[in-house]
Amino acid sequence: MEKRSYLPEIAATLMATIFGMSFMFSKLALANHTPIELIAHRFLLAFLIMSILVLFKVIKIDLKGKNMKNLFLLSFAQPILYFIFESYGIKYSASSQAGIMIALIPVCVAILGTIFLGEKNTKQEIFFILLSVAGVVYIAYGKQVDESSSPIGIILLLGAVISSSVYSIISRKISGEFTSSERTYSMMLYGALVFNAINLATHINNGNLNQYFTPWSDPAFVTALLYLGIVSSIIAFFLSNYSLTYLEASKASVFANLATVVSIIMGTVFLKESFSINQIIGSLMILVGVFGTQYTNIMQTKNRTA
């Protein structure tokens, strides 16, 4: 019996950790700059760094004879649609509602995975997936229950859930044709093109095109940008695509909820944010849900190969 590699689970855990830390860096950058500026420069930096790595053959990209339509669909779902839906969804929604909606991604992925990939989840796996989602919901609901969300905000957040889920399905489906590096490079390319086009149009409309790269003079913005552009974009999305190559979409997506736990820890330690009993209970639910899902999957794999 071959020894099972746990690299996909490790990659997914690292991905969630990186995304969880990104909230703190985003707050740092958004103190004096707009979300579209941050997103545009983030993907521009990520694309330039990856292009340099390709130029010096640190990473290999070979797209000859491959179905480029699938790469475009992947990149259109994530980051383009997801970032647009999430940014404006959060703007028009209560933070608690946003957290609840985004937590539904693993459930949506499990449903789409069954329909389009033929993936099957046991009752135990479904229980642990729902437990993880419930943990995020519990944390989010305990934050600000007095806030209100507009219908447009809920619709936009639902768009974010669907687009992220579609990304997971497509990445898993085309993993046999495109490497993790090729998928990630495509996402950085299209992200840079689309979001910089939007940012450029915004600056032209506001008559301040000469201030396009002004954010780069802000040390706090540059610090956040280096993390978000290199670590949270290139590395995290590479890890995401890598994990989706070897893990079923539903098993890989549930790791994303770990980002909530990491963001709470980072906010408490570095931003001196409060740490409530709701967050402790919810974090435990997430941890048990994530690792319960993976443990069940590992045991099933061992039983099949025994």
Distance (Å, whole) CA 6 – CA 232: 22
The pTM (predicted TM-score) of the whole model is 0.91
pLDDT tens for 53-63 read 999 999 999 99
Amino acid (1-letter code) at residue 84 = I
| Average pLDDT estimate for 68-92 | 93
- Name which residue leads in pLDDT, 142 or 127: 127
pLDDT at residue 146 above 50? no
Encoded tokens for 9: 């689970």
Encoded tokens for 182: 């090729």
Q: Are 248 and 172 in contact (CB under 8 A)?
A: yes
Q: Are 31 and 270 in contact (CB under 8 A)?
A: no
Encoded tokens for 7: 């690299």
| Average pLDDT estimate for 267-279 | 81
Distance (Å, whole) CA 182 – CA 171: 11
Task: Label residue 106 exposed, middle or buried (CB < 10 Å: 0-12, 13-18, 19+).
Answer: buried
pLDDT tens for 167-217 read 999 999 999 999 999 999 999 999 999 999 999 999 999 999 999 999 999
Distance (Å, whole) CA 14 – CA 20: 10
Mean pLDDT of the chain: 90
Encoded tokens for 259: 């980002």
Q: Which of 193, 177, 187, 194 is nearest to 63 (CA)?
A: 177
| Average pLDDT estimate for 27-46 | 93
When pLDDT is cut at 50, 70 and 90, the band that residue 3 belongs to is low
